[in-house]
């Protein structure tokens, strides 16, 4: 019985960690999709904070990947 309870507990921990990871990823995607003016208004310029720098990097990577699909990069 203890083994079953322990396995259920481990499964619940993994499920919660995966859900949190998916929520963080979704939030990051939403931030990346904001336009430059909105990011400036909320203070997420790349030089201002580590989060802003991470967003700028993701925006750059998105532009690079979309350009590479078209054969422009």
5-14 pLDDT tens trace: 777 777 777 7
Are the C-beta atoms of 40 and 32 separated by less than 8 Å?
no
- Please indicate whether residue 52 or residue 19 has the higher confidence score (pLDDT): 52
- Indicate the burial class of 46 (C-beta count within 10 angstroms; 0-12, 13-18, 19 or more): middle
- Indicate whether this model's pTM tops 0.85: no
Neighbours of 44 (CB within 10 A): 19
Provide the residue ranges of all domains of the chain, joining segments of one domain with +. Answer: 2-69
Task: Give the pLDDT score at 73.
Answer: 57
- C-alpha 66/C-alpha 51 separation (Å) is 23
């Amino acid at each position: 019985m203890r083994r079953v309870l322990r396995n259920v507990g481990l499964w619940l921990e993994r499920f919660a960690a995966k859900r949190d990871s998916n929520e963080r990823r979704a939030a990051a995607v939403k931030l990346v999709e904001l336009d430059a003016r909105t990011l400036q208004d909320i203070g997420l310029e790349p030089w201002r904070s580590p989060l802003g720098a991470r967003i700028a990097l993701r925006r750059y990577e998105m532009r690079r990947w979309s350009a590479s699909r078209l054969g422009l990069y």
